[in-house]
Structure 1
Amino acid sequence: VLAQLHGGKHPAMSMEMGGDHQQEGSGSPHPSGGRSAPSRRAAGGPSRILRQSHSRLLDGMGGNVDFPYYLINGRLPQSAQVFRAKPGDRVRLRLINAGADTAFRVALGGHRMTVTHTDGYPVEHRDTDALLIGMAERYDVIVTVKDGTFPLVALAEGKGARAKALAVLRTDQGKGLPAPSVHPDELDGRLLPAHSLRPHESVALRDEKPDREIRIRLTGNMKDYNWAFDHQPYSTEHRHAVRQDERVRLTLINATDMWHPLHLHGHTFALTGLNDIGTRKDTAIVLPHRKLVADFYADNPGLWMLHCHNQYHSESGMMTILGYRR
């Protein structure tokens, strides 16, 4: 699939790690022995490139790849997993987007969901009909189960009305399942964006000025499939320096026509941009021609990846390294 997106060739990136000397300053070079991987021709098979995709919620294309199936816990909608409960039970659903190229709009038919955590961090509880979950994002929600059979639907956002994954929550002993095409009203109801979730006071970051700011532009386009940070494909020779115990501000400017779920390894951050309220995350969506501002404390020395969690974007070069300076 990646070869198809690149017009028949795999991208070349410098992937070899080496050396441990770090220069001061954002984006300083690193004298390692990186080398480019050889290009390979695409394997045969049907085209999986998604065309004419659009999502109002994502302000543009829904994704790049037209997958043949969408699954919940490895199951097709025709043989959906069934979760059983009793009427009145309070059930926690842990929703994890393990996809490579798909944001899912998730809802449980006949129920509102109470959001309690995002990316593992507690938030002040909020009710919603649906959630939009980017790749690698996680949400914990609680529902009070009604009596009956209810579809848990994950709609592949922007990839067509039939692009759905399905599970079932039921309290009765029936054997029938909702049709794979089921579309509960909640999918089109109130949707709670991540940046509107206020962190619980136990995990809220202090209101402080940053010691360092790292500004990165997201670049690339679908025609050339040249996704990168600052027009530089990933290389171990390029690192962004931080020092231990600094408060670091990441300003990520999306100069592309595509949305990107951005993930920082080894740390969690607080969303601190305009109209944000400090939501604690480690993965967050930045929409086309918008910016994401996130603060974190440099409290975990090492070399850590910052990358787009669209697997095809990161493999094409949209990733970089944060390195602690000794």
Structure 2
Amino acid sequence: MTPRPVGRRAVLVGSVLAMTGGALAACADERGGPSAARVIGPGSDEVRAAELRRRSPGQRVHTERLTARPATIDLGSRTVQTWSYGESVPGPLLRTRAGDLLRVEVTNQLPAETSVHWHGLALRNDMDGVPGITQKAIRPGAPFTYEFTTSDPGTYFFHPHSGVQLDRGLYGVLVVDDPADPGDYDLEWVVVLDDWVDGTGRTPDEVLADLMSTAGMGPGGMMGGSMRSPVLGGAGDVDYPAYLLNGRTPDAPVTLAGKPGQRARLRIVNAGSDTAFRLALAGHRLTVTHSDGFPVVPTTTDALLIGMGERFDVTVDLADGVFPLMASAEGKTGIALAVVRTGRGTLAGAAIPELSRQLVLGSDLTADPAVRLDPAPVDRRLDAVIAGGMMRYRWTINGAMFPDHEPLDVASGERVRLRLRNRSMMFHPMHLHGHTFGLVDGGARKDTVIVRPMQSLEVDLVADNPGQWALHCHNVYHAEAGMMTVLSYGR
């Protein structure tokens, strides 16, 4: 494989971090962008002040350790060489209470630079884990300590924001418990979905190189009629050899055990890099209670469509027997599987009619009244036009590939309406760091939302977390091929 040039994000380490740290002179660039003195960077007083406002006297401190390293992992049907946090995929479950200070000491034992991004959390900007925008990458052999307040309860996850490392085994779940949660369920299951290629003859870096060099038509990727979804259009770029649920392939699934009549809460995370999953439990209906950590008006459905980076909490009242919990790779061939066992018996086939019945997406949900954004005039309107295609494997926001982007400028305290306009034939799960947004007219509070082909979504957000924040497609290959920009706070 021909070595890749230095990654686009690495180019920004000197330029963006220097600028946002206030090291450059106060002069506008030739495109008329904000001057260095006006940009609120990750090391600014405003970021420190925002974090101090989150803290409280007697705040509990929760300390964890993560080591990113090469590992040999048993997936069930195969054993692979990959990179992971510790001895398993997913990595360790981290858990705090809302309001806790989380301190995570990370050691990099990889042969490459890395980082940890805390996906979905409205945290301090200098702890967001995006090399070139909020920090310098963690060098091989070096430590880095992330420390921030976990203000909002919910289901989150963590992963690198370095190249395509997410498409290895470097991810885990972070649960922030709500002290006011009524706890109207009997047991809790964390369900992590993933598409898997590492150690099966290719690495994610080789897949990206194939996509970039062959416009998606080589052995690393395949796009066209065989990878299409009636709901999402183009369903992905990579034909994966395996799909996982909690780190296991379907022929060696995990078992989730309960008793008839119990109510189970499932915290579902799509940690995949190129695949949306359609999830259902045979013989049951699912009630969606939370999306991306925030409560929604409870919505009961047969199946749930989950884009990359999205998280959903659902409850289900368990029947008596043995049932497949299946996540079908949307528009692709393959499934991830777990077994739900509440009684005696064996798994009777893999047919799940619920998968083809009522289907709910995150954009179909309504925010719980307690978390809806207050009505307010819109101070600023921004467009993010997302486009690209397989022929050149060039993915853009507002016509530019990151890092050659125009930032989306905001000021602290503004109410911002962001219009996400998809001008491609593929779906894009768009993720905004450091904030949640509300789909207009009372839609769910989210940080990641599917924008379908040739459609648009409008979302509102409050610019209340100063810094420099990535906005990107959570298809990791699209992001690496340019589909990223920055929501940039200025003074």
| Alignment of 1:250 onto 2:415 | no
Confirm or deny: 8 A CA contact 2:322 2:344 kept in the other structure: no
Aligned to 1:170: 341
Could you tell me how far 1:263 is from its partner in structure 2? 0.3
Counterparts of 1:123-138 in structure 2 under 5 Å? Answer: 123-138=296-311
Distance (Å, rounded) in 1 between the aligned partners of 2:254 and 2:487: 40
Whole-angstrom distance in 1 between the partners of 2:305 and 2:32: 32
State the partner residue of 2:282.
Answer: 109
Change beyond 3 A, Cα 1:145–1:123: same
Assess, with a 3 A threshold, how the Cα gap between structure 1 residues 50 and 114 changes in structure 2: closer, same or farther: same
Counterpart AA for 1:28: G
Q: Residues of 2 paired with 1:70 and 1:27: CA distance?
A: 46
Report whether the alignment pairs 1:62 with 2:235. yes
- Distance in 2, Cα, partners of 1:322 & 1:96: 25
Q: Provide the secondary structure at the position in 1 that maps to 2:229.
A: coil
Q: Map 1:279-298; keep pairs closer than 5 Å.
A: 279-298=444-463
| 1:53 equivalent in alignment to 2:227 | yes
8 A Cα contact 1:196 1:277, kept in partner:
no
Say whether 1:28 aligns with 2:33.
yes
Aligned pair in 2 of structure 1 residues 178, 9: CA closer, same or farther (>3 Å)?
Answer: farther
Q: Which amino acid aligns with 1:68?
A: P
More strand by share: 2
Q: Equivalent residues in 2 for 1:196-211 (5 A)?
A: 196-211=364-379
Q: Provide the C-alpha distance between the structure 1 equivalents of 2:430 and 2:386, rounded to a whole number of angstroms.
A: 10
Residue 12 of structure 1 and its aligned partner are, at CA, apart by 6.0
Would the aligned equivalents of 1:30 and 1:238 in 2 still touch at CA under 8 Å? no
Question: What is the TM-score of this pair, normalised by structure 2?
Answer: 0.58
After superposition, the Cα gap between the structure-2 partners of 1:177 and 1:29, relative to the gap in structure 1 and judged at 3 Å, is farther
CA distance in 2, matches of 1:10, 1:63: 25
Task: Tell me what 1:234 maps to.
Answer: 402
Which residue in the other structure is 1:215 paired with? 383
- Which amino acid in 2 is paired with 1:75? R
Shift of 1:28: 2.9
Compared CA separation, residues 236 and 245, structure 1 to 2 (3 A): farther
Identity of aligned residues (%): 46
Aligned-partner SS, 1:249: strand
Q: Note if contact 1:29-1:239 (Cα within 8 Å) is conserved in structure 2.
A: no
Aligned to 1:15: 12
Task: Give the equivalent residue in structure 1 for 2:329.
Answer: 156
1:55 maps to amino acid:
S
Q: Are positions 1:93 and 2:266 aligned together? A: yes
C-alpha deviations, 1:194-249, integer Å up to 9, x for none? 22322111100122221011112112111111001122111177422111110011
**Residue type of the partner of 2:391?**
K
Q: Normalized against structure 1, the TM-score is what?
A: 0.86
Question: Structure 1 residues 122, 27: CA separation in 2 closer, same or farther (over 3 Å shift)?
Answer: farther
Deviation at 1:136, TM superposition (A): 0.5
Aligned-pair distance for 1:95?
A: 1.0
| Native 8 Å contact 1:29 1:238 kept in 2 | no
Distance between the aligned counterparts of 1:244 and 1:236, measured in 2? 24
Contact 2:405 2:485 in 1 (8 A): no
Paired with 2:313 and 2:327, the residues of 1 have a C-alpha distance of 15
d(CA) in 2 for partners of 1:200, 1:42: 43
Over 3 Å counting, the alpha-carbon distance change for 1:237 and 1:157 in structure 2 is closer
Which deviations, in whole Å up to 9, do the C-alpha atoms of 1:140-176 show, x marking residues without a partner?
110010000010000000003xx100001111245x4
Task: Report how many residues are paired.
Answer: 305
1:82 to 245, 255, 278: 255
State the distance in 2 between where 1:27 and 1:195 align. Answer: 35
Three-state SS of the structure 2 residue aligned to 1:313 is helix
For the 8 Å contact 2:282–2:323, the answer to whether it is kept is yes
1:128/1:192 contact within 8 Å kept: yes
Q: Which amino acid aligns with 1:169?
A: V
CA distance 1:27–1:267, shift in 2 (3 Å): farther
Structure-2 residue corresponding to 1:316: 481
More RCO (CA 8 Å, sep 6+): 1
Which residue of 2 is the match for residue 195 of structure 1?
363
Q: Which residue of 2 aligns with 1:302?
A: 467
Query: Gaps (5+ residues) in structure 1?
Result: none
Contact preservation (8 Å) 1:129, 1:187: yes
Equivalents in 1 of 2:12, 2:331: separation in Å? 32
Task: Judge conservation of contact 1:247–1:296 (CA < 8 Å) in 2.
Answer: yes
Once the two structures are superposed, the pairs formed by residues 140-151 of structure 1 within 5 Å of their partners are 140-151=313-324
Distance across 2 between alignment mates of 1:113 and 1:280 = 20
